[in-house]
Amino acid sequence: MTRMFRSICITAMLVLLGPYSDLQAQGPTDSTFKPSGKVWGLGFGDFAFKANADESNRGGTNQYTGMAANQSMFQFRRVYLGYDYEISERFSSNFLLAMEDNLVTTASSTPVTSGDLLTNGRYSLFIKNANVTWKNIFKGSHLSLGMVHTPAAVLLPELIWDYRCIERTISELRRTPAWDMGVILSGTLHSAKKTEFGYNLMIGNGTASRPENNQFKWFYGDVYVKLFNKKLIIDLYADYNRMDLVPGAHHDRSTIKGLIAFTSPKFTIGIEAFTNTLRNDVIAMSADSSTSKIDTRAIDYSIYARGRIYKDQLGFFVRYDNYDASLNTQNDTYINYAPRTSNYDPNTVEQFFTAGLDFTPIDKIHIMPNVWYTGYKNAGPSSIEDGYDLVYRLSIYYVYGK
């Protein structure tokens, strides 16, 4: 399955790009075109109060792990400064600087941050997007090269959920890259008033904003269809990443994900789910202290709804996720499990819930009181008690230049 997926990605790009390498075959240009650019940006953050804290500091992929109960804070979770430039009719570029919160990236009891703060503790900026796009490289398709958003979270699922300022999609929560350095081919195979069929194929480093650190690439791909006046959306996604070349212990990960949603200006409901297999990713210890490498099989699903209550000024959102990476560890053979990929900890089952109101006094400004909850259920052989993180927030989101 994974070899087939890689072959499809590579073959599709070679076959589709080959006949269209001659710029002269692209047709006439518009002599009235003038290069132009625009600056844009956004930001979101909160006043947050943590009402309860999990005593074991689980949930390494969320921003409140390690934060003590009854602690409050004002915080920015994201600030963007971007510049989009139309080079010509056929070429455009995008550059984006980002400041993001100092996320915890390990599921251990000693949280390790992502390092998005400077050594003196101040916020820092990093390059999130820097790319050039060849528009209509052939009819209905665009080729982008550089640091780009991936098909995993941003190109469709994040647009349907539409509340990234509240929480990431399920893929990005488990650190499937939402942006990456590579090449992506995106296009529509058919577009009419009521229907649309499209695809996204990408090969990237798999390291997001960091330089490549090994010989392996991350392969992404999805196909989607929009039906019934484009209100019903179905998306099928897959990815593959080889993680190392240890002899006799093939270490890789592969994901299959599906999304189905009904969306309209007044109401949207969606279901997104994935299954992820990480081969030889867990170090399992037996009673005699011997160890074995076993597979991690994880499932995650997300159900959400959003809509308008009063005109364009008041809306709502609600979401529930259930995540379980313990499907391969439900037996009495081993006494301890240590994941090599920290975002796929087989010792804990997580349930996430959020709900809130969206007050929009003017366009591009959102004020959102909301509740953020993650429950942790012990799924490993230890006797750790269940726990939860509960945070009450007043979130602010603004956009300018778009």
- Looking at per-residue pLDDT, the higher value among 82 and 330 belongs to 82
Q: State the DSSP H helix or E strand holding residue 198, giving kind and residue range, or none if neither.
A: strand 196-204
Q: In this model, does residue 316 exceed pLDDT 70?
A: yes
Those residues whose C-beta lies under 8 Å from the C-beta of residue 261, and which sit 6 or more positions away, are 160, 232, 233, 268, 269, 270, 271
Is 24 within a domain?
no
pLDDT of residue 12: 47
Lowest-pLDDT range of 129-133, 192-196, 339-343: 339-343
Q: How far is CA 110 from CA 49, 58, 101, 226, 381, in A?
A: 22, 9, 18, 44, 20
Count of helix runs (H) and strand runs (E) in the chain: 3, 17
Q: In this model, does residue 1 exceed pLDDT 60?
A: no
- Looking at per-residue pLDDT, the higher value among 395 and 65 belongs to 395
Q: In this model, does residue 397 exceed pLDDT 90?
A: yes
How many residues are recorded in the chain?
402
pLDDT of residue 301: 97
- Looking at per-residue pLDDT, the higher value among 358 and 249 belongs to 358
How far apart CA 321 and CA 143 sit, in angstroms, is 34
Is 189 within a domain?
yes
- Burial of 20: CB neighbours in 10 Å, binned 0-12, 13-18, 19+: middle
DSSP code of residue 302: E
Is 114 within a domain?
yes
pLDDT of residue 115: 56
Q: How far is CA 104 from CA 61, 113, 214, 376, in A?
A: 6, 4, 23, 16
Q: What is the mean pLDDT of the chain?
A: 87
In degrees, rounded to 5, the angle at the alpha carbon of residue 234 between the alpha carbons of residues 309 and 130 is 85
Stretch 133-144: mean pLDDT: 95
Stretch 185-205: mean pLDDT: 94
How far apart CA 36 and CA 68 sit, in angstroms, is 49
Q: In this model, does residue 49 exceed pLDDT 70?
A: yes
Residue-wise burial string across 316-327, b where 16 or more C-beta atoms lie within 10 A, e elsewhere? bbbbebbbbbbe
Stretch 196-200: mean pLDDT: 95
How far apart CA 236 and CA 61 sit, in angstroms, is 24
Q: In this model, does residue 58 exceed pLDDT 80?
A: yes
Lowest-pLDDT range of 91-105, 251-265, 301-315: 91-105
Q: Which two tokens stand for residue 108?
A: 């251990």
Q: In this model, does residue 105 exceed pLDDT 70?
A: no
Q: pLDDT category, 121, cuts 50, 70, 90?
A: confident
pLDDT of residue 152: 87
Q: Which domain holds residue 136?
A: 2-12+43-400
Q: pLDDT category, 30, cuts 50, 70, 90?
A: low
What number of other Cβ atoms are within 10 A of residue 212's Cβ? 13
Beta bridge partners of 9: none
Is 264 within a domain?
yes
Lowest-pLDDT range of 53-57, 109-113, 306-310: 109-113
Q: How many domains does the chain have?
A: 1
Is 115 within a domain?
yes
How far apart CA 65 and CA 67 sit, in angstroms, is 6
Mode of pairing for the β-strands spanning 72-86 and 348-359:
unpaired
Q: What is the CATH number of the domain that holds 388?
A: 2.40.160.10
- Candidates 126, 97, 101, 100; CA nearest to 39 is 97
Over residues 147-184, the pLDDT tens digits come to 999 998 766 788 899 999 999 999 988 889 999 999 99
pLDDT of residue 23: 43
Is 28 within a domain?
no
Q: In this model, does residue 330 exceed pLDDT 80?
A: no
Over residues 247-293, the pLDDT tens digits come to 667 889 999 999 999 999 999 999 999 999 999 998 888 888 888 88
At residue 134, what is the residue type?
W
pLDDT of residue 198: 95
Those residues whose C-beta lies under 8 Å from the C-beta of residue 135, and which sit 6 or more positions away, are 89, 90, 91, 92, 142
Is 35 within a domain?
no
Lowest-pLDDT range of 5-9, 190-194, 196-200, 244-248: 5-9
Q: pLDDT category, 110, cuts 50, 70, 90?
A: very low
- Looking at per-residue pLDDT, the higher value among 288 and 74 belongs to 74
CB 214, CB 244: distance < 8 Å:
yes
Stretch 307-324: mean pLDDT: 96
pLDDT of residue 215: 85
Beta bridge partners of 392: 49, 371
Lowest-pLDDT range of 92-106, 125-139, 249-263, 276-290: 92-106
CB 344, CB 327: distance < 8 Å:
no
CB 360, CB 366: distance < 8 Å:
yes
Is 21 within a domain?
no
